[in-house]
Amino acid sequence: MSYLDDDLSELESAQLLDNDSDEYNNHKESGLKRKMNKILNRNNDSSASFEEAIENGLSSNNFDVRTNNIDTADERTGFDPKDTRILKRIMKNEHCDFDTARLVMQHLKFRKMGIDPATGMPLDSKAFTFESKSKR
């Protein structure tokens, strides 16, 4: 199980993602279709998924998909479908922009991994960290 799967369940518990939604139930099917299209060479345009991301509002001045992915002929197929689903759900339910949704999703991932999003320090009280002795 990946951290992303954990994030899905965390988003469900935070009521940011309904596990009975069509997007949630059909994510495996859409991934399978994409894999089949790739195998059958129907998806030769590597920017197709990036174009879809832009159409779905998953781009901003801070994270410019057109400039950094499409115009540079990025070989990747696009965003991870799970991340796309989570981002869209956060944007819809929290009425926020793409950059804010990315931040919320990253904070959820950090917390799930036991990292304080504000400090980057472990949340585990038993964790040991070294202090810098160069403080004067």
Q: For residue range 88-121, what is the model confidence (pLDDT) as tens digits?
A: 999 999 999 999 999 999 999 999 999 999 999 9
Q: Is residue 103 one of the residues assigned to a domain? A: yes
Q: Is residue 13 one of the residues assigned to a domain? A: yes
| pLDDT, average across residues 112-132 | 89
What percentage of the chain carries pLDDT values higher than 70?
Answer: 61
Q: Is residue 128 one of the residues assigned to a domain? A: no
Q: Is residue 14 one of the residues assigned to a domain? A: yes
Q: For residue range 32-64, what is the model confidence (pLDDT) as tens digits?
A: 666 665 555 444 443 348 999 999 999 999 999
Q: List the one residue out of 79, 134, 130 whose CA is nearest residue 102.
A: 79
Its pTM stands at 0.60
Amino acid identity at 96: C
Q: Is residue 86 one of the residues assigned to a domain? A: yes
Number of domains within the chain: 1
Q: Show the domain range for 41.
A: 3-112
Contact 78, 31 (CB under 8 A): no
Q: Is residue 136 one of the residues assigned to a domain? A: no
Q: Is residue 25 one of the residues assigned to a domain? A: yes
Q: Is residue 135 one of the residues assigned to a domain? A: no
